[in-house]
Amino acid sequence: MKGYYKTDEWRIIEEGFNPEMQEASESIFSLGNGRMGQRANFEERYSGETLQGTYIAGVYYPDKTRVGWWKNGYPEYFAKVLNAPGWIGINVFIDGEELDLSRFRIEGFRRELNMKQGYLERTFEAVCENDKKVRVNAKRFLSMKEDEIGAIRYEVTLLNAPGTIMFVPHLDGNVRNRDSNYGEKFWTMEERDASEGSAHLVAKTRKSGFIACMAMRYEVKADGKVIRVIPEVTRKEDYVANTVSVDAEKDTSVVFYKYVSVLSSLNHERSVIVNNANQLADKALKKGFDKLFDEHAAIWEQNWAHSDIVVEGDTVAQQGIRFNIFQLNQTYTGRDERLNIGPKGFTGEKYGGSTYWDTEAYLIPFFLSTAPVEVARNLLIYRFKHLEKAIENAGKLGFKDGAALYPMVTMNGEECHNEWEITFEEIHRNGAIAYAIHNYINYTGDRDYLSEYGLEVLMAISRFWRQRVNWSDVRGKYVMLGVTGPNEYENNVNNNWYTNKIAVWTLKYTIEAIQYVSRHHPERYQEIVKKWDFNADRETADWIDIIDNMHFPHNEVKDVFLQQDGYMDKKQILAADLDPSERPINQHWSWDRILRSTLIKQADVLQGIYFFEEEYDPDTIRRNFDFYELRTVHESSLSPCVHSILASKLGRNKLAYELYLRTSRLDLDDYNREVSEGLHITSMGGTWMSIVYGFGGMRVIKGELHFNPLLPDKWESLSFKIMFRGRTLRVHIAKEGVSITNESEEALELYIYGERMKVKGKGEVWVKGRISE
């Protein structure tokens, strides 16, 4: 669908209505505010194909696992993000005929996502079966200021004759998840009521027991004046509504405003949730649409002030990065340490909306640089609070003595992934959580995090690695058998290089953390030792033995790190050899064929080289990049960004740019032909990385900032801001040179192209460009 949406620096625009694209557009034009989210479903009835989606952060359903062959240690459920009761609905009738774009003749349609101010607007003209022609303009937003409020402005104009417009604002609890394992409804209704001008509905999730409460208010205006209406009130088992009618003259616009509060039991006790919802809905009605919107837009202005990236000379690239940043900022705000970021965010049901290792590997870098330090810290604390559950998860698989295996997928710390090769084998996720602690401390300098939270997590993960490896008499080395690396087109392999690498790195880093905490926080260290019955001499000696004697697959002929033992036994098929009609291969090949191929879903060895780049010389990076890039099909959303960053480092300007476009426009151009299921939110952090770490060449090495930019040939300039240790820096890269402006009072020393320099408070440094390939 490349080119379906218009290219614009600040907007996503759909002109013309294509029913076959409706579900894709429902994903693309989704809205969120960190507390809740909404797919771009129509307010009025739509009888065509649609994936309804209203989502509330932290609310889930434990859908019982469905497998043909149960295995010990298997998760009992998959945590499904719930399609919550619908709040946006405003059914519309024109002289008794219900407005439905699947039946009406459409004479004009435009849908626009305004990323600068965070709203969705839709305008269309349609002709009813009774020949009445109508124009509708609908605008809605989820307030970033009042994050439990959604507001809709729905304007109807009769274009060729007067008539009666009937509005039916409602709350609808009759909802299902398309991906339910057993076709169950996940909600039961606890309470519903409606009266003139208002309604509320209370629903409770089965099993998990979450409460959601929605309260509705509305008003109708014509010529800017409120119209007094007398509604008909409807109360059903899972549905409440008002029905109001307005006699409208030709070319006179009637505007319907709907305000809804959306509350959950994560933040409100059941005994007060209805009262709180009604009070909040009243507050929204009193403030009105325009004031609510102005407050909301002001928050977006603040967000863009510190997270925007400006690309001059390439509107396609500019639109791509802003779309990614917009989605990241509306998915997670960092206000609540109980929340995390699901792969689809608030845009679809797939993957359960749960937490994956994606957060640690791809999202924390974005929030470290663009948000207050507490935001990234809260993401780490989220994992600390799940440490006991991680130990339970490891125990279910037979690990002991405080070993922790963090889940591949979780909502509450329990493993809830339904595929055995992921649940049991993709254990590299533990390493990403350890790496995130290092990444956070290296960036912020907040070494106290180790004594407060980090060391306990590192020790438990290291205990897991100690038990997961075994000594091989044949090799005279430690090995790790039966794993799946980041490349999920390989299962149950031995000695995945990346997994072995990050395990050894974690053991080393944990020993360093122990030394730091024991030296600088001795009392706290003794608390930790006692709490976890830690024998420092014995356990660290075991870890050092593994560090010194781990097996790492290597091919002497190619002089590359081997993805796993036996990788070179495969027929060496390259991605370029594939028939384009067979791409993506996961939609055309059998799983058996995929597993026997050399083709790589996403960065695996290269993921490790990216993480630990400082350990390898340029020739080692080049050899491994050239070998694995040729074999990678990039059928994971998480793959192109890592390759783009490494291509930039190697000076591969053209390839880096091509891979950047793939990651930044993955959803806008639907590369993987699945955007209808929801957006790839977590990979959007990788898009940001591909610019800042790739083209911007930014690294933090031993706590110090380094920049080695590479500007794509097509770009005139690139600008971005980062927050770093109390300073805000503006980086501007052009063909002529690189300038870094310190917008803070405190000076900072950093490196540009290896040259150390000092940027004074409120000062600027400039270096002549070394930009081209």
Mind listing the pLDDT tens digit for each residue in 669-690?
Answer: 999 889 999 999 989 999 999 9
pLDDT reported for residue 429: 97
Residue 74 has pLDDT above 80, yes or no: no
Cβ atoms < 10 Å from Cβ of 493: 22
- Among the residue ranges 338-342, 627-631, 664-668, the one predicted with the least confidence is 338-342
Mean pLDDT of 373-399: 96
pLDDT reported for residue 771: 52
Cα–Cα distance between 461 and 433 in angstroms, integer?
Answer: 9
The larger pLDDT score, comparing residue 553 to residue 423, is at 553
Question: Binning pLDDT at 50, 70 and 90, where does residue 221 land?
Answer: very high
Quick one: DSSP state of residue 667? Answer: T
pLDDT digits (tens, 9 = 90+) for 518-534: 999 999 999 999 999 99
Q: Which residues contact 548 (CB under 8 A, 6 or more apart)?
A: none
269 is catalytic: no
pLDDT digits (tens, 9 = 90+) for 303-329: 999 999 999 999 999 999 999 999 999
pLDDT reported for residue 416: 87
Question: Binning pLDDT at 50, 70 and 90, where does residue 180 land?
Answer: confident
pLDDT reported for residue 250: 96
Mean pLDDT of 631-644: 95
Cα–Cα distance between 595 and 747 in angstroms, integer?
Answer: 53
pLDDT digits (tens, 9 = 90+) for 582-623: 999 999 999 999 999 999 999 999 999 999 999 999 999 999
pLDDT digits (tens, 9 = 90+) for 209-220: 999 999 999 999
Question: Binning pLDDT at 50, 70 and 90, where does residue 660 land?
Answer: very high
From the list 44, 148, 419, 488, the catalytic residue is 488
Cα–Cα distance between 136 and 156 in angstroms, integer?
Answer: 5
Mean pLDDT of 215-227: 95
Residue 418 has pLDDT above 80, yes or no: no
Question: Binning pLDDT at 50, 70 and 90, where does residue 2 land?
Answer: confident
Which residue blocks in 469-521 are alpha helix, DSSP H?
A: 497-520
Cα–Cα distance between 713 and 580 in angstroms, integer?
Answer: 28
pLDDT digits (tens, 9 = 90+) for 63-73: 888 777 777 77
Determine the 3-state secondary structure of 677 from DSSP: helix
Mean pLDDT of 353-382: 94
Residue of 65, 14, 68, 69 lying closest to 42 (CA atoms): 14
Mean pLDDT of 446-473: 98
Determine the 3-state secondary structure of 305 from DSSP: helix
pLDDT digits (tens, 9 = 90+) for 229-247: 999 999 999 999 999 999 9
pLDDT reported for residue 773: 46
Phi, psi of 194 (to 5 degrees): -150, 150
The answer to whether the CB of 693 falls within 8 A of the CB of 647 is no
pLDDT reported for residue 353: 62
pLDDT reported for residue 322: 98
Whole-number mean pLDDT of the chain?
Answer: 95
